[in-house]
Chains A and B, each alone.
Chain A
Amino acid sequence: MDKQNSYIVGGHRFYMSMPVESVLWNGVDNYKPFIETEDTIEGDRVDTLDSCVFSLYVDTVSAGTELMESSKVLAEFDDDTAFISVMTGGKGERIFQISLNREMRDRGGLLVIGEDYRNCKLYAGACNGGGHGHFVLNNALMLLYALFTATRNTLLIHASVAVADGKGYVFLGKSGTGKSTHTRLWLNNIPGAWLLNDDNPVVKIEDDGNVMVYGSPWSGKTPCYRNEKAPLGAVVRLSQAPHNSIRRLTGIQAYAALAPSASSMKWDRVMADGLHNTLSGIIQSVGIFHLECLPDADAAHLCHDTVK
């Protein structure tokens, strides 16, 4: 018996299912605000699904070892957030091995993208449930989300978002730049400001052309999983400096400020095209700024006064 839930994030539906008794069901509270339906099912899953961007089945027993042995590594990504090995399987399937870091790869999960987007599978048998299991599951879902929404005017973006005056302000920067710190400064100094998401919000150009920012189940170390949205007010790239100053970016500079923070697999041409279209659309309708700042209240006031 499997439990199968549907979730709606950024206006896109996806499914996640795994055995009812799986320990991984404990600890997925970050998805709760986004649940649309909850079902218990037996047997074939795929044909019963309503329209969705993807569906993931989690195999909590198998580690996918045989698949692994017949696959070829194309590239490895090892940054401060995760280790991901991109592979192609014996039948040409796209496979990702996901773990916290390179040392943990033997206990990683194997994510297989089927020919049918409703047939993605995560082999999590080596993850031993618990903390690393959830890390792998969250990263697998983020990866699938970025992969399957890239052509739908949607960006999963590495950023922290504060909402003020009814609009969402997205703060970008390399790890350690102080995105979360700057958001805190808004929460403490800008009346009525609140935190929408602290790590991976969704930015989307809606069918009517408006650009919105959504909370998501992925928020880094800050447990902030709000199923809320706000019109995107501005995007601000941060860098540390011995002073506070802010300027507006346009054209290629705006594009270059935003692009590195979008989760993407640019080596897939279809995704890269989707990403380019979405980035172009956003910089045409939303202000993109560069803030050089100190971690102080003046930075928040300067930023808010300029971008609001």
Chain B
Amino acid sequence: MRIKKGFVLRELAGEKIISGEGLEQIDFNKIVTLNSSAAYIWEHISNREFDLETIVDLLLERYDIERSVALKDSRSLLDNWKSIGLVEE
């Protein structure tokens, strides 16, 4: 899967946000805030194909956590992004 075209990561008052800016996202009228680990993931997958395992591996690379915890967090992040419409298969 991929991050859909037209989304841009921006910084606002010390926080990371996603806004829909491309022609593909003309009707996207939300601003999505990302915490630091979500922003870290975004920065590493926004321009390429990825899957659940990619996110798990990225979390394990950066944080000292159990694989099961990384898997659970990755699933919940991905579900959230899918439900908002940031991700396409």
Contact = CB atoms under 8 A, between A and B. Distances in A.
Asked if A pairs with B, the answer is: yes
A294 B6 CA distance: 38
B12 A255 contact: yes
Contacts of B85: none
Interface residues of A, number: 18
A276 interface: yes
B83 interface: no
A284 B13 contact: yes
Given A267-B23, A272-B8, A280-B12, A252 B17 contact: yes
Contacts of B29: 260
A255 B23 contact: no
Contact of A267 (B12, B21, B33): B21
B15 A251 contact: yes
A267 B13 contact: no
A252 B33 contact: yes
Given A75-B26, A267-B21, A255 B31 contact: yes
Contacts, number: 40
Contact of A280 (B8, B13, B19, B21): B13
Nearest to A271: B21
A74 B13 contact: no
A300 to B, nearest CB: 29
B15 A267 contact: no
Given A252-B31, A280-B12, A272 B21 contact: yes
Interface string A272-293: 1000100010011000000000
Contact of B23 (A86, A260, A284): A86
How many interface residues does chain B have, given as a range?
Answer: 10 to 19
A276 B15 CA distance: 13
Interface in A72-115: 74-75, 77, 86
A75 B6 CA distance: 13
A77 B21 CA distance: 14
B33 to A, nearest CB: 6
A248 interface: no
A276 B10 contact: yes
Contacts of A260: 29
Given A266-B21, A267-B6, A267-B21, A77 B12 contact: no
A74 B10 contact: no
A258 to B, nearest CB: 11
A146 to B, nearest CB: 15
Contacts of B26: 75, 77, 267
A272 B22 CA distance: 9
B11 to A, nearest CB: 9
A302 interface: no
B17 A267 contact: no
A251 B14 CA distance: 9
A256 interface: yes
B12 A252 contact: yes
Given A251-B15, A283-B13, 11 more contacts: A75-B26, A86-B23, A251-B12, A252-B12, A252-B31, A252-B33, A255-B12, A255-B17, A267-B23, A269-B8, A284-B13
Identify the 10 closest CB pairs spanning chains A and B, nearest first: A266-B21, A267-B23, A75-B23, A272-B21, A251-B13, A256-B31, A267-B22, A276-B10, A255-B12, A74-B23
11 contacts: A77-B26, A86-B23, A251-B13, A251-B15, A252-B13, A252-B31, A260-B29, A267-B21, A269-B21, A272-B21, A276-B12
